[in-house]
Amino acid sequence: MTPNLRAGARRRPSPVRVALLTLLFAVMTVPVYLLLVNSFKSQQDIQNSPFSLPFARISLDHLAAAVQSPQYNVLQSYGFTLLLVVAVDVLCILFAGPAAYVIARSLKRRTQFLLLFFLAGTFIPASALIVPLIYVLRAIGLGNTVTGLILHDVAMTLPVSIFLFVGFIRTVPRDIDHAAAIDGAGRLRTYWQVIFPLTRPAVITVLILNSIGIWNDFISPQILLSPGSGTYTVTTAIYAGISQYSTDLTKVFPNLLLAVAPVIIFFVYMQRHIISGLTVGALKG
Amino acid sequence: MVGLAGLSADSVRVAARSPEPDRGTPGRRRRRLREAALSAGMLAPAVVVYTVMTVVPVVVALYLSLTDWNGFSSADFVGLANYARLFDDPDTTRAAVVTVIVALFGSVGMLGLGLVYALQLKERNWANSFFRTLAYYPHVISSLILGFLWSAILGTNGAINNTLADLGLGPVGFLFDENLAVITLVGVIVWAGFGFNVVLFVAGLQTVPRELVEAAQIDGASRRQINRRIVIPMIAPVVTVAMVLNLVGLIKVYDIVVSLTDGGPAGATETIAYVILTRSFAGTDVGFATAQAVGLMVASAALSVVVTALRNRQDRAAAS
């Protein structure tokens, strides 16, 4: 790097750069700003002056009403969504890890074929799969159950997870497996006690990819759990609530804020990991 | 990413060359058999769940798409009638056109903005990393929620139209004018997704050797010439991958349509995924819905095959 050349280019930001970045800032922050300020205003204030923040009249009532709303309660749905995320994450790691290990270490053609078999799953859009899946779940007695939803979500996360794990495990020298075998460890033990800890970066990537995907998923819970079940995820609660009260903005904004807040907090806290994790996921998956 | 690069390729090659443990004695053979059973056991949970939840439904879809089943009474085998209907049905045709428009213009918009901003934000410094994060954040929020938020901003009573009304300007039918609604849908999708392309392109740009750019600078090339002649050609493979990823992602757009426009006005923003789930299936036209679903799977698979082919070509180019 030649510092003087670069520094010269940096010192005076071009007007184009300033304009582009100002525009970016405005376009990306205005929706969040509107979400934030309008969550604390009355319907009249939201309509008459959407951009203002009338300090004298702001109130926590609408947010409190959303928190306490007995129907489609977004705050309550955090719990179920979190349970779903944790269950799917745990099962995915338990299932994908050992399978990926066997695939990564096998020299047999038919085991390698399994990787393609799983990868084919990334071709299938959830919206196309979910209609026939309902009948499959009904046939095996899991129709309209949380178990059925979890198993479907696990199946959706397996292809990319296995692919990322296989890629990562292949970078771990086989000598390590051999050393573990000489010490008397079986394959399963070798995987969980020796290889799994070494694949930590891949595990973190998979956990981030899956958690964001499951938390934000709308199609699967909406269609696999009937509204009558009374079990809502954040997205299905928002859908049920907002399609009912779409004209009452004092319900729309606070509910959206409650739905977005945990994701934004998680993102700000973890953004470095999330961005690199999702980039790896996209470039490899 | 650092972790992935941490283990060198050399160690893998060494590992591959290391001799296999010798086999033959009866004890070893029994042990190998046990290991094979264990391997099968380690594969089994993933294979079983994936097969029952993904492969079986695809087979069921193929079967159902050949019937006139409505979800309740008995189903009659109707051959390829549902597939013939795909091409006759005006709703399906319109939804296919909307889907292609969304995928094409959405992809082009995300690539263009992605490239423009990646070139601005490629240097590693605090400000650029802030702007990259700012461009990227919608990617982690559910599209359903983003759609509801934008619909509250762009609706007739939304923030934008209320502000326009204060200025004495008439309401703009962002979501209520048939043509404008499609443009709005594409706009919101680009807004939500271009940041992801920015991040991909920045990762690509950071691999462009500095010496090359500096040599061109010394030779008197302008910034624009350097970008056009050196930088963009060098990240062309990443651009190709991003383009097809955008396309594959966009042909199944559903959530954002539901929350932003709910397919309206008058069906102008219905995509294929929307029609499958909200119209054919909910309208108890299961046979036809699954035929549409099979069509979407085929389109998605075809695009994905293109991704894989492009990526393989890119890997070979990188390896040579």
| Residue A56 backbone phi and psi in degrees, to 5 | -65, -30
Fill in the DSSP letter of residue B172: P
Q: Which residue of A38, A124, A133, A210 is the best one to mutate when testing the B interface, meaning the one whose CB has the most B CBs within 10 A? A: A124
CB B54 within 8 A of CB A129: yes
Q: Provide the pLDDT for residue A137.
A: 94
CA distances to A106, A118, A202, B99, B170 from B50, in Å:
20, 8, 21, 28, 53
Q: Which residue of A6, A11, A24, A29 is the best one to mutate when testing the B interface, meaning the one whose CB has the most B CBs within 10 A? A: A24
Q: Is residue A22 part of a domain?
A: no
Q: How many domains does chain A have?
A: 1
Q: Binning pLDDT at 50, 70 and 90, where does residue A284 land?
A: low
- Residue A249 C-alpha, separation from nearest chain B C-alpha, in angstroms: 8
Listed in sequence order, the DSSP H helices in B18-170 are 26-50, 56-64, 81-88, 90-120, 126-136, 143-154, 159-166
Q: Provide the pLDDT for residue A11.
A: 61
Q: Choose the closest CB to A123 out of B60, B141, B304.
A: B304
Average pLDDT of each block of 10 consecutive residues along chain B (320 residues)?
34 43 67 84 94 94 88 80 88 93 95 94 89 92 94 88 85 88 96 94 87 88 85 83 86 93 89 89 85 91 78 66
Q: pLDDT tens across A265-276, in order?
A: 888 888 888 888
Q: Is residue A220 part of a domain?
A: yes
Q: Provide the pLDDT for residue B124.
A: 86
Q: Is residue A210 part of a domain?
A: yes
Q: Is residue A5 part of a domain?
A: no
Q: pLDDT tens across A68-92, in order?
A: 877 778 888 899 999 999 999 999 9
Q: Say what the alpha-carbon torsion angle B27, B29, B31, B35 is, to the nearest 10 degrees.
A: 180
Q: Provide the pLDDT for residue A150.
A: 96
Q: Provide the pLDDT for residue B229.
A: 85
pTM, to two decimals: 0.87
Q: pLDDT tens across A199-218, in order?
A: 998 999 899 889 999 999 99
Report CB contact under 8 Å: B297, A124.
Answer: yes
Q: pLDDT tens across A95-151, in order?
A: 999 999 999 988 888 888 999 899 888 878 888 899 899 989 999 999 889 999 999
Q: Provide the pLDDT for residue A251.
A: 85
- Residue A28 C-alpha, separation from nearest chain B C-alpha, in angstroms: 7
Higher pLDDT, A232 or B15: A232
Residue A197 belongs to what domain range? Answer: 67-283
CB B299 within 8 A of CB A122: no
ipTM: 0.90
Give A9's contacts in chain B (Cβ within 8 Å): 223
Angle, vertex CA B96, rays to CA B92 and CA B99, nearest 5? 135
Instruction: Tell me, rounded to whole angstroms, the distance of Cα A52 from its chain centroid.
Output: 33
Mean pLDDT of chain A: 86
**Considering chain A, what percentage of its residues have pLDDT values greater than 70?**
94
CB B112 within 8 A of CB B285: no
Q: Provide the pLDDT for residue B314.
A: 65
Q: Is residue A149 part of a domain?
A: yes
Q: Choose the closest CB to B43 out of A24, A102, A283.
A: A102
Q: Is residue A150 part of a domain?
A: yes
Q: Provide the pLDDT for residue A243.
A: 79
Closest-CA residue of A relative to B289 is: A131
Among the residue ranges A36-40, A112-116, A185-189, B4-8, the one predicted with the least confidence is B4-8
Q: Provide the pLDDT for residue A2.
A: 44
Tokens 């990259």 belong to residue: B132
Report CB contact under 8 Å: A28, B137.
Answer: yes
Q: Is residue A243 part of a domain?
A: yes
Report CB contact under 8 Å: B57, A136.
Answer: yes
- Residue B96 C-alpha, separation from nearest chain A C-alpha, in angstroms: 14
The answer to whether residue A53 neighbours chain B at the CB level (below 8 Å) is: no
Q: Say which CATH number the domain at A143 has.
A: 1.10.3720.10
**Considering chain A, what percentage of its residues have pLDDT values greater than 90?**
41
Report CB contact under 8 Å: A127, B142.
Answer: no
Q: Provide the pLDDT for residue A56.
A: 75
Using CB atoms within 10 Å of the CB of residue B64, give its burial: 0 to 12 exposed, 13 to 18 middle, 19+ buried. buried
Could you give the maximum distance between any two Cα atoms of chain B, in Å? 92
Among the residue ranges A4-8, A165-169, A205-209, A212-216, the one predicted with the least confidence is A4-8
Q: Is residue A253 part of a domain?
A: yes
DSSP string, B120-143: HS-S-SHHHHHHHHHHHGGGGS-H
Using CB atoms within 10 Å of the CB of residue B227, give its burial: 0 to 12 exposed, 13 to 18 middle, 19+ buried. middle
Q: Choose the closest CB to B18 out of A10, A129, A174.
A: A174
